[in-house]
Amino acid sequence: MKEGRFFPKGGEEGSETRGKEVAPIRYRDMDENGAIKPLLKETRLGGITMSKKISWGLFSVLCLVVVGLMAGSAFAAPGMPSSGEKQKIKLVGYNDVQGRETLQVTTMYDAATNKYWAFIGHHNRPGFVGIHFNPITNQNEENGTTILDITDPKHPTVVVHIPNYNFLGTAQQNRNSRSTSVVLNFKGSGKDILVRNSEGAGTWYYEIFDITDITKNGGDMFTKIGNLQATDLGTLDSAHKGYLSPSGKYYSSSDEQDFREQHLVVWDISDVGTLGPGDWNRELGAARFVGRGWLEGQKESETEPADDISSPGRFEKTAPN
């Protein structure tokens, strides 16, 4: 990806436009000193000790294939990190995803292109760790979402990394996007839609992207469609994880006003395949909220049970479906 494209509400230093669509914006070096300073650290992966330039909390994406257990055979091919421990699996490929700490990985086969993909959600980086370098863009980028082509499982390849930005989309920001969910050809629209959570700096929401140019055209453009940031109770107090259903419903673990903690919050975003790009902070959630579910005691107006998980669940909805 030579450059990322998005549709910001307004520009700032380093942008090529203010409020215009389709303006390519090359990611800026976010290092305050203007230099990349990876940490030199010794790490252990299983029983192997490696010294290399890595960032704290390196999580690797391992492509695994189930095979018959063969006594005495090596677990991994030469050059791939492994302790040699295995049970009915064999490591066939490896990618360090630029050293970015990884939590949720979603794999998917696209029959239209005969490709296999992995969509990877990254944690925010600890404050004492430098921003990771993306050799594709030749820029330092805050952790966000990585799209990995795993069609050749022996050589999984990073195709695009989508960094996290602030609420206005004017600058990169250290945020948590641990969760990703993708539906290909969303509701027959011909668009491939990705939804990720985004938490940080006192704001919580889910971001909706059109990634069709990447997955179908072999391009490098991702288009921000909008955010799910609100319900009938106002803006969210957390946006933890979520699942985008082919039906068009987005099921999330979120916290709202008047609740003690995270619970089920559901939006119907069936129409996003028909929407074009909007401002980076475009809010779509309030009008598409359809319901919520919680355990008795999660709502602030209810008595909180003491260590009791047998309480009945409750559900509210605003639409008949």
pTM equals 0.75
Which letter, b or e, does each residue of 256-290 get, where b requires 16 or more Cβ atoms within 10 Å of its Cβ? beebeebbbbbbbbbebbebebbbbbbbbbeebbb
290 — alpha (psi -120 to 50), left (phi > 0) or beta? Answer: alpha
CA atoms of 146 and 137, how far apart (whole Å): 13
Higher pLDDT, 12 or 282: 282
pLDDT at residue 126 above 70?
yes
pLDDT by residue (tens digit) across 216-241? 999 999 999 999 999 999 999 999 99
CA atoms of 153 and 128, how far apart (whole Å): 34
Asked if 258 and 299 touch (Cβ cutoff 8 Å), the reply is yes
pLDDT by residue (tens digit) across 22-62? 333 333 334 445 444 443 333 333 333 333 333 333 333 33
